[in-house]
Amino acid sequence: MKTVHCATYEGLDARVVDVESTLTKGLPSFSIVGMASTAITESKERVKSALLSNDFSFPPKRITFSLAPSELSKSGSQFDLSIALLILLNTDESDLKDWFVFGELGLDGSVKESAQLYPLILSLANQNLITKAIVPNESLDKLSKIPNIDFYGVSSITQTVNVFKNQDTVLPSVVNSGIEYPFYELEQKKYYYVKEYDEDFSDVKGQEVAKRAALIAAAGFHNIIYEGSPGCGKSMIAQRLRYILPPMSENEILELVKLQVLDGKEANFKPHRNSQSVHHTATLASIFGGGSFKAKIGEVGLAHNGILFFDELPHFSKSVLEALREPMQDKKIRISRVNSKVEYPASFLFIGAMNPCPCGNLLNQNKECRCSDLEVQRYKNRLSDPFLDRIDLNIVMQQVNATDKPSLSSKEMHKMVVQAHILGRKRGQKSFNALLNDKEIQMYCALSGEAEETLEKAIDRFALSFRSIKKVQKVSRTIADLCQSKTIEKEHLLEALSYRRR
């Protein structure tokens, strides 16, 4: 019996699958056991055709393949090459230990790329389960960015056999090329960035308070809600915010590419954080993920390490808004079904945009609001207090005037965010200010004596809850970082308090 490794998905993570084979005397047959999907069972015909098309003989024996563990459901066409290889090397003394083999076979014996190959291998690498792998040549450009793995690219079944028969002399096809973008290094860790601003904050005229809040949200990854009349610039600011977000580590970029592949997009390694814009008519399953038999990732999971934008916030169903509380608080989401239970990370910057009333004219000085007090109250009551309690910055947009002029550009704002990011990492922080836990708040959110007195007065005056106090401290820390201050001063705390919900 010979064994080689492959992999399949279990939820959003990869699981190692041992492909075992036996060729015994008996009536010729070809069977695959181990909860294999239709795509895997169909590989029997692809493998047989690939071998015969390349002058290999197909053994007239009883051929049995087992995909272990047997209780794990397997799917995907990446098992083709493993199965064909084990048939050809059944009597060979080649050492197959520790090798992973991935690839879909064409009928002519060519090795093809499959869509789920990159996220599979990245997941295995994150779990330190893989060191060397046979992969299609077509996949090498993307896979070469994953560190600490030797990749051997092949384009045919014949090349694959030659790799194993000449293991002592064959060299990996590529050396890890890394991320080819500017970076700075802190604590032996690289942070990549790109100075490209397809949509610039200089296009937003006026709205200085809203732009300042966007800068704070970007620097500390704070959740934010914009409230204002239609056309005042809420969506404009949300669309431009992704371009001033903090630089990305190598692991974050690799994780971003994994999400791009899962979302059906073309993978690129540009250090621009993801941005998912969700329409209020989207279903609960499409937003949070789901599926009867195999849980699939939703918009919340795809926004991991990036932005999740909800426009027309009160028009979302109550079930969606209340379900959003869990990932906003715990930075992960759980999907429970009869057939599967999945948990995946969901650490995102939430941006909400809403009108002040159903007609949108409540704050407009030039138009009359057509809504009654009861209609306005019902509209705002769609957002519950527990949901709003997870918002760090609440901004009321200013009235738009013809005399408004642009101020800070995205380039200038991004530079300030980068400087704040460097300051935070230099003091030993490993996460954004919005994600600090209680112990880290005590460690990094040091208040000056005057700031402490101000916070005590604010607690008494505004009856702040424990969550609100921590929220104010974290926002203050971000404001201090933008001012390059090591301690939180009174003015930083007062600005943070000005953004609280009234």
* pLDDT, average across residues 57-83: 92
The percentage of the chain sitting over the pLDDT mark of 90, rounded to a whole number, equals 70
Query: How many C-beta neighbours within 10 Å does residue 148 have?
Result: 9
Q: Which of the four CATH numbers 1.10.8.60, 2.40.30.10, 3.30.450.20, 3.90.550.10 does domain 436-502 have?
A: 1.10.8.60
Pick the CATH number of 2-165 from 3.30.230.10, 3.40.50.720, 3.30.70.1290, 1.10.10.10: 3.30.230.10
413 confidence band (pLDDT: 50, 70, 90): very high
Among the CATH numbers 3.40.50.2000, 3.40.50.300, 2.40.160.60, 1.10.1510.10, which is that of 189-416? Answer: 3.40.50.300
CATH 3.30.230.10 residue ranges of the chain are 2-165
pLDDT tens-place string over residues 322-362: 999 999 999 998 877 766 677 889 999 999 999 999 999 99
What pairing do the DSSP bridges indicate for beta strands 275-278 and 307-310?
parallel
Q: Which residue has the higher pLDDT, 176 or 308?
A: 308
- Range(s) within the chain of domains with CATH label 3.40.50.300: 189-416
Where exactly does CATH 1.10.8.60 map onto the chain?
436-502
- C-alpha dihedral, 378 to 384 to 385 to 389, nearest 10°: -130
pLDDT above 70 covers what percent of the chain?
A: 98
Contact 117, 146 (CB under 8 A): no
Which pLDDT value is given to residue 293? 60
Rounded Cα distance, 84 and 104, in Å: 10
Task: Tell me the pLDDT tens digit for each residue of 428-486.
Answer: 999 999 999 999 999 999 999 999 999 999 999 999 989 999 999 999 999 999 999 99
Question: What integer pLDDT is reported at residue 334 of this predicted model?
Answer: 83
Give the model's pLDDT for residue 295. 67
Element of type H or E holding 8:
strand 2-10
Q: What is the pLDDT of residues 395-410, one digit of tens each?
A: 999 888 878 888 899 9
Residue 106: DSSP 8-state: P
Work out the pLDDT band at 294, boundaries 50, 70, 90.
Answer: low
How far apart (Å, rounded) are the C-alpha atoms in residues 178 and 402?
48
